Amino acid sequence: MTDQLKNNIRSILKTYRKTIWKKTINAIDEYQLINENDKIAVCISGGKDSFLLALLLREINRHHKIKFNLKYFVMDPGYDKKAIDLIKKNAQHFNLEIEIFKTNIFDDIKDEKNPCYVCARKRRGHLYNKARELGCNKIALGHHFDDVIETIMLNILYAGTYGSMMPKLKSDNYPNMELIRPLYLVKEYDIEKWAKYNNLSFINCACDFANKKTDSKRAEIKELIKDLRKVYKDIDKNIFKSSENVNLNTVLSYHYNKEKHNFLDKY
């Protein structure tokens, strides 16, 4: 292990212990994300979130009471050579044995009206297939706290529904497979600070659609929450807590297991 990598890890355990390390441990414990002898496929996109996730899970496996197995892989949806080279460089720096497998997702979605949604759905299928091939029972994604609250606001403002991004999900199409999000309580701001503190660089989405801002709704919500934080610093915490404090006595209707329930049913 190089001195630079030791410093990267030390910064997680020391400098960002409260904001990154402990919050990841808390999410794993609170939402029961990892069980003894799990075999977890860590899905690395090449961005700061997924690489941090890989480092965290490796360190947690060393220090935590629960022991589990890890596999690291990268799905290439059509990245250019520059992006792939940076991913390989970071994997080597972090001493991660990654497997890169190729797909044609970027080509498949180029004519889609909602390419980001279709891309996410197609990615998920490929990730589950690869994880199953590796003998894993879980896939770990790098979604963080801000992804969660942005999803809540997106659903309210643009879909007219209330729904959050869950910390874990059972797959409908892949029996005995589960998706987990260990960074669920970690704020993007702290991930960015960690990357800057260590002078690290990562790829962004690396697709033409994101660069052209084809789907800007999430970016709009991100800016909205940023502005709201200026008015009330805990606004993000309250958005998050709203998904924990739903009072069904004040809800007109809700869906559970694809069945719709109305407040008049028990009025």
Report pLDDT digits (tens) over 93-141.
999 999 999 988 887 777 666 777 777 778 888 899 999 999 999 999 9
Give the angle 159-161-163 at the CA atoms, nearest 5°.
Answer: 110
- Per domain, the residue ranges of the chain are 3-259
How high is the pLDDT of residue 124? 86
Task: Indicate the class that CATH gives domain 3-259.
Answer: alpha beta
How high is the pLDDT of residue 112? 67
Residue pair 17/10 in contact (Cβ under 8 Å)? The answer is no
Taken in order 185, 156, 226, 188, is the CA torsion positive or negative? Answer: positive
- Residue 214, pLDDT > 70, answer no
- What is the per-residue pLDDT across 148-203, written as a single tens digit (0 to 9) for each? 999 999 999 999 999 999 999 999 889 999 999 999 999 999 999 999 999 999 99
**Mean confidence (pLDDT) of the chain:** 92
pTM: 0.93
**Residues 6 or more apart from 180 whose CB is under 8 A from it?**
33, 34, 40, 138, 139, 140, 141, 167, 168
- Residue 63, pLDDT > 90, answer no
Scan for tokens 């990654």, then name that residue.
Answer: 98
Look at residue 203 and give its three-state secondary structure.
coil
Q: How far apart are CA 147 and CA 68, in angstroms?
A: 26
Confidence category of residue 18, pLDDT binned at 50, 70, 90: very high
